[in-house]
Amino acid sequence: DIQMTQSPSSLSASVGDRVTITCRASQSISIYLNWYQQNPGKAPKLLIYTASNLHSGVPSRFSGSGSGTDFTLTISSLQPEDFATYYCQQGYSTPQTFGQGTRVEI
């Protein structure tokens, strides 16, 4: 299985901050990396697919980059509704695997 490692595991930030979360794959996954946002008690929501494509309806303050083994999710100006847990997921090979999550706290 491909292991996905996110960093940091948690971070504290303020409204308006620029936030960056990284995700590293244990082997090359090309661009097949997706990002999700999950609020407590809710299902994850797709934010970014294939590394850098913004999912429909997702605010433009979210962006993704990377290829191969190293990927980044950036929130350009943190909003109150962005305080949540973020997960990366590789779709390169079965089984699809997720990072352990990054909790963004106030």
Which chain residues interact with other proteins by CB under 8 A? 1, 32, 34, 36, 42-46, 48-50, 55, 87, 89, 91-92, 94-101
For the bound state, the minimum distance from the C-beta of residue 43 to other proteins, rounded and expressed in Å, comes to 4
- State the Cα–Cα distance between residues 48 and 51, nearest whole angstrom: 6
Q: State the nearest-atom distance from the C-beta of 34 to other proteins, in Å.
A: 4
Compare residues 10 and 77 and give the one whose CB is closer to other proteins. 10
Instruction: Specify the residue, 83 or 92, whose C-beta has the smaller distance to other proteins.
Output: 92
Alpha-carbon distance of 10 to 21, in angstroms, equals 9
Residues 29/69, Cβ–Cβ less than 8 Å? yes
- Other C-beta atoms closer than 10 Å to the C-beta of 66 total 19
